[in-house]
A = this chain, B = another copy of it.
Amino acid sequence: MPTLYNRIANQSMERLAALSDGLFAIAMTLLVLDLHVPVAEAVHSEHDLGRALLALAPRFGMYGMSFLTLSIFWNGQQTQLNFLARSNRDLTWIHLAFLCAISMMPFSTQLLAEFPAYRTALLVYWLNILLPGIALYASWRYASRAGLVKDDVPMEIRRAIRRRVVFAQGWYALGALLCFLSVRLSIGLIFLVQLNYVIAPRFLAPRGE
């Protein structure tokens, strides 16, 4: 039986949402902090500046990809929380673990941007996608069992939320596996999976949904 303190602690969904929004907003903005403008001494003409900016293009791409990743997880968390009637301390800790993984995203993005040809960097990046995914899955599973989900949420929505995480993570894992062939291929597939979840959500979805 939980202690009295633990039964009364951390029930505010609003504050969990506010903390999450703040942390996501910062993680999204910090990504860009790492894009350094070209050094003035190396630029003597419009042409130089254009080339220096073009040289930044792969980094921009990487940061765009991480912005997508963060957006997708922000959406996933939000969709879950919308269906919960209340929170409790265990659920809050699951989401704090989720946020801890999210806060590592600027690091693993920078790592992959610095070492785009290294398997190790790609696997760290993938780990940074896997861990929040596991946290979201655990959150929904725990909320379902602990009776925190709103009563009027039908079975198929509960299932859709759970399967969404599993399917997405399956595709990401496949993308990560490709790194043993080629890291760039791996990045490419992960990016495509993300784009799919943004633009054309009918592919890659579990059948019948």
Q: Footprint of B on A, CB under 8 Å? A: 2-6, 8-12, 14-15, 17-19, 21-33, 35, 37-38, 40, 43, 46, 49-50, 53, 64, 67, 71, 74-75, 78-79, 82-83, 89, 92-93, 96, 99-100, 103-104, 106-107, 110-111, 114-115, 118-121, 124, 156-157, 160-161, 164, 198, 201-202, 205, 209
Output the least CB separation between A79 and chain B (Å): 5
Asked if A115 and B49 make an inter-chain contact with CB atoms under 8 angstroms apart, the answer reads: yes
Asked if B33 and A2 make an inter-chain contact with CB atoms under 8 angstroms apart, the answer reads: no
Q: How many copies of this chain sit in the oligomeric assembly? A: 4
Cα A83 to Cα B4 with chains together (Å): 14
Cα A201 to Cα B93 with chains together (Å): 12
Which 10 residue pairs spanning A and B have beta carbons closest together?
A22-B25, A18-B21, A23-B25, A26-B29, A49-B120, A9-B79, A3-B209, A5-B160, A4-B209, A37-B111
Chain B residues near A71 (CB, 8 Å)? 93, 96, 100
Cα A67 to Cα B18 with chains together (Å): 17
User: 18 pairs across A/B with beta carbons < 8 Å?
Assistant: A3-B205, A4-B157, A5-B160, A9-B79, A14-B17, A15-B17, A22-B25, A22-B26, A23-B28, A26-B29, A28-B103, A30-B33, A32-B107, A37-B110, A49-B120, A50-B120, A53-B124, A67-B96
